[in-house]
Structure 1
Amino acid sequence: MAEAAVDACEIARLPEEIVSATLARAGPREACRAAAVSPAFRAAADSDAVWACFLPRDLPPIADGELPAAPPLSKKELFLRLSNSPVLLPNRLVSLWLDRETGAKCYMLSARQLYIVWSDTPRYWTWIPLTDSRFSEGAQLLDVCWLEIRGKIQSKMLSENSTYAAYLVYKIDTEFYGLDSPVQEASVSIGETKLTRRVCLQDYDDEDREIPENYRPMRPFVRFMTRRRNRQVVTPGENAQLPHKRTDGWMELELGEFFNEGGEDGEVSVDLTETKGGNWKKGLIVQGVEIRVKKSG
């Protein structure tokens, strides 16, 4: 007991600048823990000097009304706000949040921000209001035999030296067909590097498959159940990436990953297509494409 008191006393003697510099190198989670366990660390751990190191230097402009106008947020409050839930960018077609562990920038491109073939033809696609999303509308597939969805983002909008993954975020309507076979092709490209994989929008075997914690639901704890129809399970030989169910009621399908080295004014392209089988498809509801930091393991 006496030794602990002596240690705490010695810690309290450290200059706040040294404590701040140490915590700034440790990361957001460690700074929060330090503030919780040691009163001697609290002032430094909550300081703007520490949390400014965790915020990206090049945050994009945020849409009006997304952050409180007054009083101004501290650096810690701003980080916690941006890492807790997405905020909209000025065109309200893209959302942004920060990865809680690294401070890396993550985005979702709304369906309106994507290029969806035939989306402006009411016979094939329709635009529906979304009540469980930050975006006002999504794209619902009525009937097509040519599925093509593409998204792009400038690499300079992303955090440097970070590995990202891209996900299609969607639901399947109660009436659907053609989403399980033939499987789809997904690709992610940055610069001269392009990776392609086989994916399947529909998965019957494991609806409760777990997903990483670092995505940020647009509307938390909204549940949605889909009815199974035209059941056709993807065979193991097809080796297709399958979707996961999120806690916000949406599905997500990983389309690929990439490393953003930074320093280049390039473009990241994300594609999902099925144009070879000629099978008609129905029932896909697209919220957008999410690009977030890929967690190891």
Structure 2
Amino acid sequence: MAESKNVVYAKDLKITWSRDRRYWRWVKETENSYVAELLNVCWLKVSGKLENPNLSSRTQYEVVLEAKMKTRAYGFDDPVNFKFTHPGGTEDWTINLEDKFKDSKDQWKDIKLGEFIASENPGAIEFLLYKYGGKWKSGLVIKSVAVRPKS
């Protein structure tokens, strides 16, 4: 993923239970970057915010999760929810992460979470990936969430 001002790296995301080593592990990727590895939760909540995104008006953008699913991941056979708020409004939908990683376990992948057209006055962009209750989940590794022009 290209370096960009419009990226929220794992350490800057709000991840419920991420400070409890029973549920999440922080893995050093490079000298200055860490990824968040899900060990075991039934309450998944990952959120972030871009305060002043550098967007060009009337350009179509996509919101992308850079992540991987470990080979022994479990609990993602049910879709997770995604909520996305941008200056044009709020959108909600579900994403089946297990399907997204079906043929690419243990490989970094860009998962498109949504898209929008930037307005003249871009404001803050917020996003939330969540699944409350239900099955215990493990094996998702999160590197970042980016807002980038749709190619």
User: What range is the shorter-chain TM-score in?
Assistant: 0.7 to 0.9
1:269 and 1:110 mapped to 2: Cα distance?
A: 14
- Among 20, 24, 37, the alignment partner of 1:121 is 20
Check the 8 A contact 2:100/2:111 in 1, yes or no: no
1:123-162 pair list within 5 angstroms: 123-130=22-29, 136-162=33-59
1:139 and 1:148 mapped to 2: Cα distance?
A: 13
The TM-score normalised by the length of structure 2 is: 0.86
CA RMSD of aligned residues (A): 2.4
- Among 278, 289, 292, the alignment partner of 2:145 is 289
Identity across the alignment (%):
31
Q: Which has the higher helix share?
A: 1
1:114 and 1:206 mapped to 2: Cα distance?
A: 25
Q: How far is the alpha carbon of 1:294 from its aligned partner?
A: 1.8
- Among 257, 260, 285, the alignment partner of 2:118 is 260
Match of 1:274 in 2: 131
Letter in 2 for 1:268: I
How many corresponding residue pairs? 151
Q: Does 1:170 align with 2:67?
A: yes
Cα deviation 1:43-80 (Å, max 9, x = unaligned):
xxxxxxxxxxxxxxxxxxxxxxxxxxxxxxxxxxxxxx
The TM-score normalised by the length of structure 1 is: 0.46
Q: Which has the higher contact order (CA 8 A, sep 6+)?
A: 2
- SS of the residue corresponding to residue 157 of structure 1 reads coil
User: Structure 2: any 5+ residue segments left out of the alignment?
Assistant: none
Instruction: Please say which structure displays the higher CA radius of gyration.
Output: 1
- Among 68, 82, 87, the alignment partner of 1:191 is 87
Closer/same/farther in 2, CA of residues 179 and 151 from structure 1, 3 Å limit: same
Q: How far is the alpha carbon of 1:258 from its aligned partner?
A: 1.7
User: Structure 1: any 5+ residue segments left out of the alignment?
Assistant: 1-84, 87-94, 97-105, 208-224, 228-248
Closer/same/farther in 2, CA of residues 206 and 278 from structure 1, 3 Å limit: closer
Q: Which has the higher strand share?
A: 2
- SS of the residue corresponding to residue 19 of structure 2 reads coil
Closer/same/farther in 2, CA of residues 204 and 113 from structure 1, 3 Å limit: closer
